[in-house]
Amino acid sequence: MVKYFGCASVLLSALGVSCGDSEEHVVSNQGWLCVGKGPSQTNEACPAFSLEQQLALHVNFGLCLSGSCSRPGQTSCRASRSGSIIEVTAEGTWSDTGEESCTLDCRALTATCQTESLPDGDYEIRYANKTLAVTIPSSRSRHCMPGRGFAFCCDTDADCAGVGTCDTLTHTCRNMSRAE
């Protein structure tokens, strides 16, 4: 959901401020979410999600913002758990600069937050009407909602997003389209 807040030109011109074509935009609960390890990350290739660990939640609002025509604003993310269900909500803002000629770079608007420490078990993370299943413990260091991101660490072939197979000795995805 995106809301637009136009410039209140009468009030701002009374204060001597010009707003040009600048608009502030608010986006909430859209895009996708990835789950990674929390603040106690290690440098292991595929560290496991483990008992009593916080999970880092990374929201990407699914926007492509031009670096010359857009300015990111504030973002926030919140996770609340009830049993095995973790509900995530997120909101972000950005504004237009008023520039007429925009660069073609594509910058994401993102928000991050973390869960409370979680005991071993199966969890369902819900965000933007999508669900992501996460099991603790697991050898995967990153889980993403379907169609977004790529699980480089895996437990099964299903973790490799249909583009490869899981090497269960190293817990890494092998791309079937490459000569190995």
Mark whether 110 and 61 lie in a shared domain. Answer: yes
Measured CA to CA, the distance from residue 8 to residue 138 in angstroms comes to: 51
Residue (of 133, 135, 158, 162) closest to 145 by Cα position: 133
Whether the per-residue pLDDT at 12 is higher than 50: the answer is: no
Question: How many domains are there within the chain?
Answer: 2
Mark whether 125 and 173 lie in a shared domain. Answer: no
Residue, of 21 and 80, whose pLDDT is higher: 80
Measured CA to CA, the distance from residue 89 to residue 127 in angstroms comes to: 7
Provide the token pair at 70.
């857009």
Mark whether 26 and 55 lie in a shared domain. Answer: yes
Output the pLDDT for position 8: 31
* pLDDT band for position 153 (cuts 50, 70, 90): low
Mark whether 25 and 73 lie in a shared domain. Answer: yes
Output the pLDDT for position 93: 97
Residue 10: DSSP 8-state: H
Average pLDDT, the chain: 74
Mean pLDDT for the stretch of residues 91-104: 92
Mark whether 29 and 100 lie in a shared domain. Answer: yes
Which residues have CB under 8 Å from 51's CB, separation 6+? 119, 120, 136, 137
Residue (of 132, 138, 173) closest to 152 by Cα position: 173
> Own/partner pairs for 37-46, CB < 8 Å, 24+ apart?
37/141, 38/114, 38/115, 39/114, 45/153, 45/170, 45/171, 45/172, 46/139, 46/140, 46/141, 46/152, 46/153, 46/170, 46/171, 46/172
Mark whether 47 and 102 lie in a shared domain. Answer: yes
Residue, of 71 and 140, whose pLDDT is higher: 71
pLDDT > 70: percent of the chain = 63
pTM of the predicted model over 0.95: no
Mark whether 125 and 165 lie in a shared domain. Answer: no
Tokens 């909602």 correspond to what residue?
Answer: 145
Mark whether 127 and 173 lie in a shared domain. Answer: no
Which residues have CB under 8 Å from 158's CB, separation 6+? none
Mark whether 14 and 26 lie in a shared domain. Answer: yes
Mark whether 144 and 156 lie in a shared domain. Answer: no
Mark whether 46 and 112 lie in a shared domain. Answer: yes
Q: What's the domain range around 172?
A: 150-180
Mark whether 13 and 72 lie in a shared domain. Answer: yes
Residue, of 7 and 45, whose pLDDT is higher: 45
